[in-house]
Amino acid sequence: MSLGGRAGRSEGWAWVAAALVLGACGGGGPPADLFVVTRSGDVPGARLVLRVTDDGRASCNGAALVPITSKDLIDARQIRRELEGEEEGEAGPADQGLSLPPGPMPVFRYAVRGQDGTVSFSDTSKGQPQTFRDVAALTRRIAKGPCRLPR
């Protein structure tokens, strides 16, 4: 047997191994959601379902995924960590299913669904953690920016 024959067989096995590794890593599957924000309210354009994915894209109201900025992806990942508890074993607002009642005269209401649970609040809810304000700001930036919505 020549060395060329062995090399060819080795290369063939290398391709098989690479394909198995890619398959095990979920190559080609849909991107993981960081979270889904449902925004509602009584003003025109308030209704929004925003899906943010871990590959740096977002979808507004079921439309096709569009790229978001690196800053928005970094902010979205930070929001997810804070909603789900930053440290292993630490409970975040999503783990607790935190739901804050609206304060006086709310304009927007939000529900944020992540892997560990759902939180809900309004723009006028008392006692909001900063993360909830960050959700509202990120939702507005992505809706008006990449999704090209009025609100």
Tens digits of per-residue pLDDT, 1-55?
Answer: 455 555 555 555 544 444 444 444 556 788 999 999 999 999 999 999 999 999 9
Average per-residue pLDDT for the chain: 88
User: For residue 30, what pLDDT is reported?
Assistant: 86
User: For residue 18, what pLDDT is reported?
Assistant: 45
What is the value of pTM for the model shown? Answer: 0.80
CA distances 20 to 24, 32, 44, 99, 115, Å, are: 6, 21, 50, 44, 27
Q: What whole-number percentage of the chain has pLDDT above 70?
A: 81
User: For residue 133, what pLDDT is reported?
Assistant: 98
Tokens representing 148 are 């090209």
User: For residue 11, what pLDDT is reported?
Assistant: 54
**Start-to-end C-alpha separation, the chain:** 71
User: For residue 27, what pLDDT is reported?
Assistant: 62
Tokens representing 22 are 């890619």
User: Does pLDDT of 56 surpass 60?
Assistant: yes
pLDDT bucket at 86, cuts 50 / 70 / 90: confident
User: For residue 24, what pLDDT is reported?
Assistant: 45
User: For residue 29, what pLDDT is reported?
Assistant: 84
